Amino acid sequence: MICWMFPGQPLRHNQLFPETVEGTGIINLCRDATGFDPSTWQDYDGLKSEHIRLQLYGTAFSLCRTRLLRSSGQEPDMVIEHSMGIYAALAACDCISERDALDMTARVGSVLSRMSEDKRYALGCIIGLGCPSVEAAAANHGIYVANYNTSSHFLLSGERSRILAAVEECAAAGAFSLSVFDCDAPLHTPLVMAVATELESIFSDYDYAAPRVPLLDHIGQEPLTSSRIPAFLLDELLSPVWWQLSYKAAGKMGATSFVETGAGDALKKFNRWIDSETR
């Protein structure tokens, strides 16, 4: 059973779109739908932050990869998604159109970016430390664990000064790799409730069809239904991403081959890490 995996926002745009009909088609669609060209990094509206551009680049690249896979005759039996990879995943499952996926990405990104007008937010990547220690550091400094990627790979999310303090605590506790990335909003935390009304309004603007194949959500690892999609789209921005649980759930449902449908190979690396711990 083949499982397609849709990653969230990439950290950088260092992978070129293929010079194919599929690549050109998605670039043109993104530019037409949002005013942003992910191949040249040119935003013709002049309003999008670097993080919104990365989000659009990630969605567009996943849509391109989906087209390329389908043009070669490949189809998934199941889909799992990570963070903001949900928008491209919904399009791949025919719940929404590709245009809607790009439009939704841009609109959500714009709302989230306004959170940075009052406060500075960041993500803290913690590698090599157990979950209890990471959760304790987050609680001690008033931030949240946003991504549970493996048993020793986590992302913290919250105000930048608090992230820096929590990262220092994790370093003292023995983490062997730590890094901090600025971001527009504290994704996957209850802090996003500050803009929940605006986000809910966005998600209610679209019509959602039933997924053509099982699409597992990354919170409870349950197949999404069309009626549950709008509520999930808000919930997933307020709640952690449980990638390890999602990957294992897909395996229990029969998935044997996992294809990363997006820029980079972060999810493949997480999967190898998880597999190495369960042998």
| Residues 98-126 pLDDT 10s | 999 999 999 999 999 999 998 999 999 99
Domain boundaries defined on the chain:
2-115+189-278, 118-183
Q: How far apart are CA 262 and CA 113, in angstroms?
A: 23
Percent of the chain predicted with pLDDT > 90: 90
Helix (H) or strand (E) holding 183: strand 177-183
Q: How far apart are CA 70 and CA 94, in angstroms?
A: 13
pLDDT confidence tier of residue 10, bands split at 50, 70 and 90 = confident
Specify the residue for token string 């105000």.
Answer: 159
Is residue 179 a contact partner of residue 192, using CB atoms and an 8 Å limit?
no
Determine the angle formed by the axes of helices 98-113 and 196-203, rounding to 10 degrees: 170
Give the distance between the most distant pair of CA atoms in the chain. Answer: 51
pLDDT confidence tier of residue 279, bands split at 50, 70 and 90 = low
Is 46 a residue whose pLDDT tops 90?
no
pLDDT digits (tens, 9 = 90+) for 73-101: 999 999 999 999 999 999 999 999 999 99
- Span 143-159, average pLDDT: 97
According to CATH, the topology of domain 118-183 is: Alpha-Beta Plaits (3.30.70)
- Residue 277 CA: distances (Å) to CA of 94, 153, 199, 244, 246: 35, 12, 38, 11, 16
Is 34 a residue whose pLDDT tops 70?
yes
Determine the angle formed by the axes of helices 243-252 and 266-278, rounding to 10 degrees: 70
pTM reported for the whole predicted model: 0.95
* Bridge partner residues of 242 (DSSP): 148
Give residue 270's Cα distance to chain centre: 14
- Span 11-37, average pLDDT: 93
User: What are phi and psi for residue 71, nearest 5 degrees?
Assistant: -65, -20
pLDDT confidence tier of residue 47, bands split at 50, 70 and 90 = low
The CATH superfamily label for domain 2-115+189-278 reads Malonyl-Coenzyme A Acyl Carrier Protein, domain 2 (3.40.366.10)
Burial class of residue 201 (count of CB atoms within 10 Å of its CB; 0-12, 13-18, 19+): exposed
Q: What is the pLDDT of residue 277?
A: 80
